Amino acid sequence: MAGILEGKVALITGAGSGIGRATSRIFAREGAKLVIADLVEAAGEQTLKLLQDLGAEAIFVKADVAQAADADRIVARAVAAYGRLDCAFNNAGIEGAAGVTHKCTEENWARVIAINLTGVWLCMKAEITQMLAQGGGGAIVNTSSDAGLLGVKGMPAYVASKHGVAGLTKAAAIEYGRSGIRVNAVCPGPIRTPMMGRLLQDRPGVEESFVRAEPLKRMGEPEEIGEAVAWLCSDRSSYVTGLPMPVDGGLIAT
């Protein structure tokens, strides 16, 4: 049976670990041809090997999404390899340094915003330009966060960047809907990723508080985000656009 992304050309940033790697494997399972990107070359190459071992058509591009030339280059590589771009998952992101607002440095603020928000915008610009050049149609999913829908203390730059992604997603959905380009976001809750591992290491007791707060009473796995992204990029979600979609075990509902 064909997968829900059979024959589609998909781009995934931040594919070297965590949600990006898990989503890449799900896209491969669902039949997509993949262009994966990451700033960390070794991690990206590891994901590429995993995909090739699964029999997927895939290429890896080392790229810094905060650089416009790199965002353009990822899309150009997709078109050079496969002739088009059908869907994209703009997932690359960092958490930045912990600390309350008045202790957040300008350097930390600039770095987090550059990668988490400006990087998403730059990738979207390149992706949408290509989709329009193809005659329209396509699906884009951005990684926001529950922290893009709620306030979270001690991470002002991260929270601001993820709120920005949610807003940018809504704006683009309105702008390009008539061209058949759908734009959505996933808003993960506490997911077992390397990023979450670093946060938990610095904050004893936080995992227990997450579990207590969630209706499902557990943390999520990267694959659970990837399944949502695959659906949003597929034709099965053809009437869904402009949605910052929580995938968080019900945390935001509490």
Catalytic annotation present for 162: yes
Q: What angle do CA 130, 45, 128 make, to 5 degrees?
A: 10
CB contact at 8 A, 42 and 118: no
Check 145, 161, 162, 237 and give the catalytic one: 162
Could you give the CA distance from residue 236 to residue 234 in angstroms, rounded to a whole number? 5
Catalytic residue flag (residue 144): yes
| Rounded alpha-carbon distances, angstroms, from residue 87 to 10, 23, 77, 107, 208 | 5, 13, 14, 33, 36
CA 44 to chain centroid: 15
pTM of the model as a whole: 0.95
Choice among 158, 161, 176, 237 that is catalytic: 158
Computed from CA positions of residues 225, 227, 230, 236, in that sequence, does the dihedral angle turn out positive or negative? negative
Check 24, 144, 145, 234 and give the catalytic one.
144
Q: What is the pLDDT of residues 171-206, one digit of tens each?
A: 999 999 999 999 999 999 989 887 777 777 766 677
Domains of the chain, earliest start first: 9-191+223-245 (3.40.50.720)
pLDDT, tens digit (0-9, with 9 covering 90-100), for 200-246: 776 667 778 777 888 998 989 999 999 999 999 999 999 999 999 99
- String of b and e for 2-29 (b: at least 16 CB within 10 Å)? ebbbeebbbbbbbbbbbbbbbbbbbbbb
C-alpha to C-alpha distance for 224 and 230, rounded to whole angstroms: 10
Residues 56-96 pLDDT 10s: 999 999 999 999 999 999 999 999 999 999 999 999 999 99
Is 82 annotated as catalytic? no
* Residues near 230 by beta carbon (within 8 Å), at least 6 away in sequence: 4, 5, 23, 26, 27, 30
